[in-house]
């Protein structure tokens, strides 16, 4: 229950060469009022997905700055994660929602986990996403402990029944955090709402500098030979990411570029049972096209491999229909790779200053991808603009600053 996740150590000074000494000094100043403040981050899984990646990067930095921070994951079984996947989909607009038995399952697992949590052990508890959102309802509350619910999902067009169900738990929190103001559901009180976009860690294995020679060796080991052009989508196997639409766009581009390859690189996570169904569909298609590659973390694709794919791809595609933020866009832009992405969630924010094209259909995805493939100067220009935008707005040091300011407001309230 509430498994403690081991994280590494990372000094904040390691980022000085990337963001500058002034930024590091500002972070130290913000943290000076938070020495020994006890924080727990709680989410559903320690691997597979943007939330776990963010926590693995930011928790060591918060500890290095003098806070006492833990990351814990809740206990759950297949039935619970099927229910929470339905909640996740409904919060993004799916019509299907839970019956009475499923709602009871959701609450019971939160109750089980709450028995392992004593709020008085922490000054601040940050609960991430819907899976553990009912923890506060189930816990023996301590008045001194401040609770934050951090929503990483685009809930702007939620199934009304789903949001009404979740809202009764969320309204008990001292603060709620959304990625964008546009994600805040209608009729939700804006009091005590904070807007904090996520960010990438430039020193994580997925984003650190990797020579082209090493990147080529990594992909050759997987059977991808960058002498032939290839495009990539990196994401969970999720219908909202529209992998089948990506394949359709790829086939359209192949009519002009018959030697083109497509890599669909996915991550299988404990809390996402639906991914296996989609993975089965994709692997069935994979057998009919030697240039279509479906790869996962279960077949040897980890952070370094994703780094190589994003670095050497001619274009990275993120054809999301719904999206929380889509950190993979920032990851690709940081590596100077142009992006073609769906106009969904936080993706437009990342492409606002250049770096790629926003698209609204399969046909447009194919047209824009081909345009980049056939114009090297355009690809280079997009890559340079994208990297500069990420450096200025979407690196982990900015996210760390925002979280420290949030913690200060809670401690001082």
| pLDDT for 298 | 77
User: CATH fold of 3-199+395-411, please?
Assistant: Rossmann fold (3.40.50)
| pLDDT for 271 | 60
**Per the structure block, which two tokens stand in for 340?**
């073609």
- Phi first, then psi, for residue 272 (nearest 5°) are -135, 75
| Least confident range of 92-101, 239-248, 276-285, 306-315 | 276-285
Burial class, 344, CB count within 10 angstroms (exposed 0-12 / middle 13-18 / buried 19+) = buried
CA 401, CA 37: separation in Å to the nearest integer? 16
Angle of helix 303-312 versus helix 327-334 axis, rounded to 10: 60
Task: For 390-407, write each residue's pLDDT tens digit.
Answer: 999 999 999 999 999 999
Would you tell me how many other CB atoms lie within 10 Å of the CB of residue 392?
A: 11
| pLDDT for 191 | 76
Q: Which residues pair with 247 in a beta bridge?
A: none
Which helix (H) or strand (E) element contains residue 113? helix 100-114
| pLDDT for 29 | 97
Task: For 156-211, write each residue's pLDDT tens digit.
Answer: 889 999 999 999 999 999 999 999 999 998 878 877 899 999 999 999 999 999 99
Are the C-beta atoms of 394 and 330 separated by less than 8 Å?
A: yes
Is 226 a residue whose pLDDT tops 70?
no
Provide the residue ranges of all domains of the chain, joining segments of one domain with +: 3-199+395-411, 212-393
Class of domain 212-393: alpha beta
Is 37 a residue whose pLDDT tops 90?
yes
Name the percent of the chain lying above pLDDT 70.
Answer: 97
């Amino acid at each position: 229950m509430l498994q403690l996740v081991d994280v590494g150590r990372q000094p904040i000074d390691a980022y000085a060469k990337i963001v500058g000494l002034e930024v590091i000094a500002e972070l130290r100043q913000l943290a000076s009022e938070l020495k020994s403040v006890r924080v727990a981050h709680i989410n559903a899984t320690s691997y597979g997905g943007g939330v776990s990646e963010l926590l693995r990067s930011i928790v060591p930095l918060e500890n290095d700055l003098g806070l006492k921070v833990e990351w814990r994951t809740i206990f759950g079984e297949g039935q619970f994660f099927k229910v929470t996947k339905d909640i996740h989909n409904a919060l993004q607009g799916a019509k299907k929602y839970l019956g009475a038995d499923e709602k009871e399952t959701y609450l019971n697992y939160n109750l089980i986990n709450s028995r392992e949590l004593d709020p008085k052990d922490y000054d601040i508890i940050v609960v991430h996403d819907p899976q553990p959102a009912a923890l506060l309802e189930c816990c023996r509350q301590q008045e001194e402990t401040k609770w934050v619910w951090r929503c990483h999902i685009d809930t702007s067009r939620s199934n009304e029944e789903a949001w009404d169900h979740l809202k009764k738990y969320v309204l008990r929190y001292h603060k709620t955090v959304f990625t964008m103001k546009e994600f805040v559901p209608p009729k939700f009180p804006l009091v005590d709402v904070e807007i904090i976009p996520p960010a990438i860690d430039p020193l994580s294995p997925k984003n650190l500098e990797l020579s082209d020679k090493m990147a080529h060796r990594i992909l050759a080991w997987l059977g991808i030979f960058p002498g032939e052009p290839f495009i990539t989508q990196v994401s969970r196997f999720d219908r909202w990411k529209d992998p089948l639409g990506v394949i359709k766009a790829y086939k359209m581009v192949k009519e002009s570029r018959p030697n083109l390859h497509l890599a669909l690189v996915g991550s299988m996570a404990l809390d996402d049972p639906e991914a296996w169904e989609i993975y089965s569909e994709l692997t069935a298609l994979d057998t009919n096209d030697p240039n279509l590659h479906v790869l996962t973390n279960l077949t040897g694709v980890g952070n370094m491999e994703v780094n190589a794919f994003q670095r050497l791809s001619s274009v990275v595609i993120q054809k999301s229909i719904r999206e929380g933020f889509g950190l993979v866009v920032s990851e690709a832009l940081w590596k100077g790779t142009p992006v073609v992405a769906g106009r969904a969630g936080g993706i437009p924010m990342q492409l606002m200053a250049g770096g790629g094209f926003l698209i609204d259909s399969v046909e447009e995805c194919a047209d824009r991808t081909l345009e980049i493939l056939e114009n090297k100067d355009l690809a280079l220009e997009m890559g340079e603009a994208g990297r500069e935008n990420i450096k200025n707005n979407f690196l982990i040091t900015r996210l760390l600053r925002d979280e420290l300011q949030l913690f200060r407001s809670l401690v001082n309230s």
